[in-house]
């Protein structure tokens, strides 16, 4: 049996702006999507998603919509590398779905990586990334490519369309990333389209917001490179205000953000497409318990995630 695991992500700065060519900063975190593949003598190509509770035969013309990205990956690999002997692929994931943690990209990356290993062909991580990006296009329409890139390569990444730079710094021991899922699911592709349409309607104003986002991300990058993580808080809050102005902030996520700030967070913002999904906050060790307590009290399940240096791995 061949198994691969690919990490989730938290976009620290710059989501949405990255869709129009501005930079963003993203980190891989320690929640994983895993795929295990075993040979099937019947010659069939079966796929089972435990998290979505769905299964399909990838050779069928129509597969359930939520599994279409895996059929796309299977077809690309089939075209590029030829006949694939029969297999059963089982996909499982700890990453909440449709919440902004890159669940679809991580499952696509783990499936691609394990299938290429199962075939025994030579490949580079770049190939995994490119194939997963094609699958992301089915899910999101106009993805920037940030999700598949961080899940493939891991670490903290400064990303622009067509450009990525790993920021080689150690995350401080006493600094925690707390993630809260608002529980409100949304469709990333739809939110991205709404933001782009708002941009078109008010371009003369929006272009300044996009430039501000770019300056903010570049400033954050410099702080990270000089290990000044503790100074990121205000930039996180400014980034949140920019997200508000492009129309992706809602009451429920604001409530979590204010609870995080009031309980001692250095900064907190939406991460991912917004209109629900997750919020992340940055906390020093000494305010962590207070924050966790407060967030639980208002009905949420905060999780502490850790940035991880590795992207997709064999396991």
Is 147 an active-site residue? yes
Segment contacting ligand PMV by CB under 6 A, of 46-54, 69-77, 120-128, 138-146: 138-146
Residues 224/167, Cβ–Cβ less than 8 Å: yes
If binding means CB under 6 A, how many residues of this protein chain bind ligand PMV? 16
Taking the C-alpha atoms of residue 47 and residue 75, their distance in angstroms, rounded to an integer, is: 13
Residue number with the smallest Cβ distance to ligand PMV: 272
| Both structure tokens of 142 | 């106009």
7 makes contact with ligand PMV (CB under 6 A): no
Taking the C-alpha atoms of residue 89 and residue 36, their distance in angstroms, rounded to an integer, is: 6
178 makes contact with ligand PMV (CB under 6 A): no
CB of 95 to ligand PMV, least distance (A): 10
Residues 52/98, Cβ–Cβ less than 8 Å: no
> Which of 100, 154, 267, 276 is the binder for ligand PMV (CB under 6 A)?
100
> Which of 34, 113, 140, 160 is the binder for ligand PMV (CB under 6 A)?
140
3-state SS, 203-241, equals HHHHHHHHHHHHHHHHHHHHHHHCCCHHHHHHHHHHHHH
Per CB under 6 A, contacts with ligand PMV among 293-312 are none
Distances (CA, A) of 246 to 17, 202, 237: 10, 10, 15
Distances (CA, A) of 288 to 23, 27, 124, 182, 265: 30, 20, 40, 19, 8
CB of 188 to ligand PMV, least distance (A): 4
CA atoms within 13 A on the CB side of 276: 12
CB of 289 to ligand PMV, least distance (A): 28
CB of 119 to ligand PMV, least distance (A): 28
Segment contacting ligand PMV by CB under 6 A, of 10-18, 53-61, 80-88, 220-228: 10-18
**Tokens 């371009």 belong to which residue?**
203
> Which of 58, 77, 109, 192 is the binder for ligand PMV (CB under 6 A)?
192
Catalytic (active-site) positions = 147
User: For binding to ligand PMV (CB under 6 A), which residues are involved?
Assistant: 15-16, 18-19, 100, 102, 140, 143-144, 146-147, 188, 192, 272-273, 277
């Amino acid at each position: 049996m061949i198994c691969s695991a690919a990490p989730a992500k938290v976009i620290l700065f710059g989501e949405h702006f990255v869709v129009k060519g501005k930079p963003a900063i993203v980190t891989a975190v320690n929640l994983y999507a895993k795929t295990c593949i075993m040979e099937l003598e019947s010659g069939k190509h079966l796929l089972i998603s435990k998290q979505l509770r769905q299964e399909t035969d990838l050779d069928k013309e129509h597969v359930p919509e939520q599994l279409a990205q895996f059929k796309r990956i299977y077809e690309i690999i089939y075209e590029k590398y030829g006949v694939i002997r029969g297999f059963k692929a089982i996909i499982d994931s700890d990453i909440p779905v449709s919440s902004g943690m890159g669940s679809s990209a991580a499952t696509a990356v783990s499936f691609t990586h394990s299938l290429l290993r199962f075939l025994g062909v030579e490949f580079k991580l770049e190939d995994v990334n490119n194939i997963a990006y094609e699958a992301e296009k089915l899910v999101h329409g106009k993805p920037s490519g940030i999700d598949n890139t961080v899940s493939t390569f891991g670490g903290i990444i400064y990303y622009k369309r067509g450009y990525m730079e790993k920021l080689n710094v150690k995350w401080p021991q006493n600094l925690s990333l707390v993630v809260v899922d608002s529980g409100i699911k949304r469709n990333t592709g739809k939110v991205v389209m709404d933001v782009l349409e708002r941009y078109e309607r008010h371009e003369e104003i929006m272009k300044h917001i996009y430039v501000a986002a770019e300056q903010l991300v570049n400033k954050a990058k410099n702080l990270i490179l000089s290990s000044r993580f503790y100074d990121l808080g205000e930039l996180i809050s400014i980034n949140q205000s920019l997200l508000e102005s492009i129309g992706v902030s809602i009451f429920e996520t604001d409530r979590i953000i204010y609870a995080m700030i009031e309980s001692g967070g250095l900064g907190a913002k939406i991460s991912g497409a917004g209109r629900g999904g997750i919020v992340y906050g940055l906390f020093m060790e000494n305010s962590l318990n207070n924050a966790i307590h407060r967030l639980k009290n208002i009905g949420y399940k905060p999780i502490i995630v850790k940035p991880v240096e590795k992207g997709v791995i064999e396991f």
